Amino acid sequence: MPLCLARIDDRLIHGQVVLGWARALKPDRIVVCNDRIAANTWERRFYTSSVPAHIKVSFFDLEETARQLLNNLFKNESVMLLFESAGDAWRVVEKGVSFVALNVWGPHYRKGAVELLPYVFLTDEDRGYLRELVKKSITLTAQDIPGNNPQVINSLVV
């Protein structure tokens, strides 16, 4: 499975993902990795409705995400993984899934979160999960859209 992007974005599928990342990277499939969304038919329909018909969309809880990726289910497809939170990304990596880089964009402001960069707000818990991902040699970048330069943020979360 060629992984074209792994991204944390609390909005999951939205304009930047569909019009920016999907147009630039041309994934065959978008995989939304989240327990709540995987269990909610209405949300799955809502998110799927904003994706062009030529891109497949899958919704898995975190356990199933790890199982599908480890079993190479998408070996013949280019895949974009979307996580709602740093905790979700960590839970999939903790189950044995590995990737080289993770785009951290869009943990937006919420109570207890501190601004790391514009539009990247982290709680202490988020930072803890990101530190664990850095320990797994994952490069964390902040990049909103493909045309902008990525900023490596590993040193900002440790």
The mean pLDDT of 95-118, rounded to a whole number, is 91
Helices (H) and strands (E) in the chain, counts: 8, 9
Evaluate whether 83 touches 130 at the Cβ level (below 8 Å): no
Tell me the pairing of strands 120-122 and 114-117: antiparallel
Three-class secondary structure of residue 16 per DSSP: helix
Question: What is the phi/psi pair of residue 2, to 5°?
Answer: -75, 120
pLDDT at 51: 98
**End-to-end C-alpha distance for the chain, whole angstroms:** 30
Query: What are the start-end ranges of the E strands in the chain?
Result: 3-8, 29-33, 56-60, 79-83, 101-104, 114-117, 120-122, 139-142, 151-152
- In Å, what is the CA distance from 122 to each residue of 99, 136, 146? 21, 19, 22
Confidence class of residue 109 from pLDDT cuts 50, 70 and 90?
confident
pLDDT at 110: 87
Using the predicted structure, report yes or no on whether residue 114 has a pLDDT greater than 80: yes
Using the predicted structure, report yes or no on whether residue 1 has a pLDDT greater than 90: no
Evaluate whether 93 touches 77 at the Cβ level (below 8 Å): no
The mean pLDDT of 76-98, rounded to a whole number, is 97
pLDDT digits (tens, 9 = 90+) for 22-70: 999 999 999 999 999 999 999 999 999 999 999 999 999 999 999 999 9
pTM of the full structure:
0.95
Q: Which domains does the chain have, with CATH numbers?
A: 3-157 (3.40.35.10)
pLDDT at 11: 94
Using the predicted structure, report yes or no on whether residue 106 has a pLDDT greater than 90: no
Using the predicted structure, report yes or no on whether residue 91 has a pLDDT greater than 80: yes
